[in-house]
Amino acid sequence: MTGRNEGGPRPYDFEPILARPRSPNAGHNVMPPVPRNEIDEERNRLLNMNWCSCGLCVFMPTEKECTCCNEVDNCREKLNSNSCITELPDFHNVCLDKTVLRTAIVMVRYARGLTNAQDHYDKKTYRYAAYRSFTAWIHGALGKRQRRVIPACAVSAIRSAYPAEDGIYQGFLEAQGEVEDALLL
């Protein structure tokens, strides 16, 4: 363990790091070791905010979700002089505006053969429509079972606009087979 205690206990700090084989023939299928600083950086994403360069990210439950908009190439291309994707007017228009999100919900329902638009949708439906809209705005059409992690700053802004009543949120899930998306139905 280092002399500093950044963010509390550091689990696995005393775990051995895979060493290179001693002879060229020994363990030829062994991957080269990952440098210690890369291991620490990944582990530290859950312990500190050093990975956030926009200043608006929040802690997320997994290392993968601890991503800043400045780490996503497609976000950086849109930033201009802003430091965070959530500061762009387009973010508010595309991801937070209730009328735009309602239109997106209706279009998804229509594409699925559901033509009966509702007068009111709950916050969860708006939140998921906002996630979907963000992904389409930043990455374009991805296709079935193609997912991208949404930066923590964007997730936080969307959750603030459309909070869960119980404060419990579903984090990022990798696509697995045919996932039924009953969300916007």
83-92, 111-120, 164-173: the lowest-pLDDT one:
111-120
Percent of the chain clearing pLDDT 90 (strictly above): 33
Q: What is the pLDDT of residue 37?
A: 57
State mean pLDDT over 109-124: 78
The predicted pLDDT at position 43 comes to 61
Using alpha carbons, list the distances in angstroms from residue 182 to 54, 88, 112, 125, 179: 34, 30, 11, 10, 9
Domain residue ranges of the chain, discontinuous segments joined by +: 1-48, 54-184
Whether residue 35 has pLDDT greater than 70: no
What's the pLDDT tens digit per position in 60-95? 888 888 899 999 999 999 998 778 999 999 999 999
Q: Distance between CA atoms of 6 and 44, rounded to whole angstroms?
A: 9
The answer to whether the CB of 86 falls within 8 A of the CB of 69 is yes
pTM confidence score: 0.69
Q: What is the 3-state secondary structure (H, E, C) of 30-83?
A: CCCCCCHHHHHHHHHCCCCCCCCCCCCCCCCCCCCCCCCHHHCHHHHHHHCCCC
